[in-house]
Amino acid sequence: MNFETFVFYLNFAAPLLIGALIFLLRGSLKLSAALSILSVSMAIFSTYKIWQKISEEGLKYLQPNKLFYIDGFSILMQFMIEFVTIFVIFFSLKEISKLYNHRKNQSHTYFSILMLSLGFMNLAFSFDSLFFFYIALELSSISAVYLISFNLDKNSLRAGFIYLLMVNVGILFSLLGIVLINYNTATEVTISNISQSITFLNKNIALLCASLFIIGFFTKAGLMPFHLWLPQAYAEAPTAITVFLAGAVTKIGFYGLGRTVTVFAFNMEEVKILVLLMSSLSVFLGAFLAFNQKDIKKLIAYCSISEMGFIASALILNSYAGKFGGVFHLFNHTLMKGALFFSAGALIYLHGSRKIEEIKAFKPKASAIMISFFIGALAVGGMPPFSSFLSSLTIIFALVEEKFIGLAFILALSGFISLLALLRSVISIFWLKEDNLAANTNVSLPKILIICALFFALTLIALGIYPEFLHSLFHKATLAIININH
């Protein structure tokens, strides 16, 4: 094995092997976290090297052997989940020490499973065969269950159970879709040959397959009407894991959509219309339901469903602008949810409650958290100068260009409703205060929690002012989706 191949395998092998090592060592919280950071750093290094090779040699994709297929879209997804995981590890260190102290002796299992989940996700982004993609996807989903139920109280266990059952059953539909294409085309369906494969399908069978993929990947992404697992899982999981779910685990559903459903939509208008209808449902109802939430994490979760509808409706469009907007918004979604959930996590750390009414009862003493929450809320509304403004605008223009003016209006309106729902909470938590409220002086906020929230918020501004910084990555990812459609 030469150095290049070794570096390629490092991408998923490092998190998987070090994940297993963490479990076997049964070390302290700090040791487990240090090893986790080491493995994610190795994965980032590997992804960077693959990106360097693809961009320097002007390759459309990299195929080290028959099993794997890496292109711009895979690399974008890998970078995204790896960076999210780094911050998740830092946040977890403090969160477990304080809020989950009763589970501190199991921190090695926590970090081990986090690494295994990351490894399986990286593996899923690397496979060419849809069957193997499915296997890696399911393993990453299943392992996330332990993390959701980490608190081991009744609510978190129930949330984990619903997640496990819904996601497992949901993605079985996508397996059925893969099986049907496979049988009808008599060849193993892969990412590189899916566009040719579906041309051999009878139209009804093709529509059936597309519907099965839509059910499977919509469930995984947490889009309506298959979203039932999402608000509960986001709310009951430790905040660091909520960020991991929002920024990494659900993204694999969009990867599946980008690899399969977009190909069907390119060939069949009906599939495009179906996805647009379903995603507009997510966009509108997500924003609408966010309004009534009393739990800060559930509030952000419903806004997240709305935002994800944005992404799905953009990815499914046939134009470059639509797909570029979708890819850009996919990245921005991770940043927005990072800023919002980490801020919410810091508030929960301070006040020990997720209930907005209970958080409101204390004097705020975390101005940095207020800033990051406020930035996250404005970014969800697609306000300038945040990067989500650019991606939202691109998506709306792309929709108008393809004559979906009504949907563009729903998207803009829903963004505004989400913004109002979030701003209402920000204002009531941080500004509308009576003078006689007690300050929660017993707890001080660790700097690392503030850094995590601020990093995501500031990146939203930086990318909004200077989007060229990541343009080539988004461009390559967009071209990768378009390439497999043809």
Partner 1 sequence: MDIIYIIFLFFTFVAGESRNLKFASYSLIPQGLLIVLSLMIVGYVNNLSHFYVIAAVDLLVRVFLMPAALIILLRVRLQKEEKPAIIHPLSIALSIVLLSVGYKFIDTIKIMNFPNILSFFTAGATAFIYGMFLFLSKRDMVKMIISFFIIENGIHLILLSMLPKVGKAVEFGLTINFIVAVIFFIYITLRYNLLSVMEFINKIKKES
Residue ranges that bind partner 1, judged by CB under 8 A: 129, 131-132, 135, 138-139, 142-143, 145-146, 149, 152-154, 157-158, 160-161, 164-165, 168-169, 172, 175-176, 179, 182-184, 186, 188, 202, 204-205
What's the CA dihedral at 236, 237, 243, 247 to 10 degrees? Answer: -90
Dig out the tokens for 127 from the structure.
Answer: 């496979």
CA dihedral 74, 76, 78, 84 (to 10 degrees): -150
Nearer to partner 1, 82 or 236 (CB): 236
Q: Nearer to partner 1 by C-beta: 178 or 380?
A: 178
The distance of closest approach from Cβ of residue 311 to partner 1 in the complex, given in angstroms and rounded to an integer, is 27
Using the Cα atoms of residue 13, residue 139, residue 286 and residue 152 in order, give the sign of their dihedral: negative
Min dist. Cβ of residue 156 to partner 1 (A):
9
Residue 467 Cβ, how far from partner 1 at the closest point, in Å?
A: 39
Measured from the CB atom, the residue of 203 and 447 that comes closer to partner 1 is 203
CB of 226 to partner 1, least distance (A): 12
- C-alpha of 100 from chain center: 24
SS3 of residue 264 by DSSP: helix
Query: Nearest approach, Cβ of 108 to partner 1 (angstroms)?
Result: 16
| Least separation in angstroms between CB 172 and partner 1 | 6
Q: Compute the least distance from the CB of residue 285 to partner 1, in Å.
A: 20
> Which one, 255 or 373, has the nearer CB to partner 1?
255
Q: Please name which of 106, 87, 159 lies closest in space to residue 341, comparing C-alpha atoms.
A: 87
Tokens of 155: 């609510």
Nearest residue (CB) to partner 1, 135 versus 393: 135
The type of residue at 366 is A
C-beta closer to partner 1: residue 177 or 338: 177
Quote the distance between the C-alpha of residue 390 and its chain's center: 19
Q: Which residues share a beta bridge with 68?
A: 127
Cis peptide before 467 (omega within 30 of 0): no
- CB-wise, 39 or 140, nearer to partner 1? 140
The set of residues, in sequence order, having a beta carbon less than 8 Å from that of 476 and lying 6+ positions away, is 54, 55, 71, 72, 73, 75, 76
C-beta closer to partner 1: residue 175 or 276: 175
CB of 245 to partner 1, least distance (A): 16
From residue 318, alpha-carbon distances to 141, 198, 401 in Å are: 29, 17, 11
Letter for the amino acid at 298?
Answer: K
Smallest distance, Å, CB 216 to partner 1?
12
Both structure tokens of 38: 């080491």
Q: Which is nearer to partner 1, 125 or 284 (CB)?
A: 125
Measured from the CB atom, the residue of 185 and 353 that comes closer to partner 1 is 185
Report yes or no: 15 and 86 within 8 Å, Cβ to Cβ: no
Q: How far is the CB of 165 from partner 1 (least distance, A)?
A: 6
Ranges of H-type helices in 291-430: 296-315, 320-351, 356-360, 367-380, 387-401, 405-430
Contact 307, 331 (CB under 8 A): no
Phi-psi region of 439 (alpha: psi -120 to 50; beta: other; left: phi over 0): beta
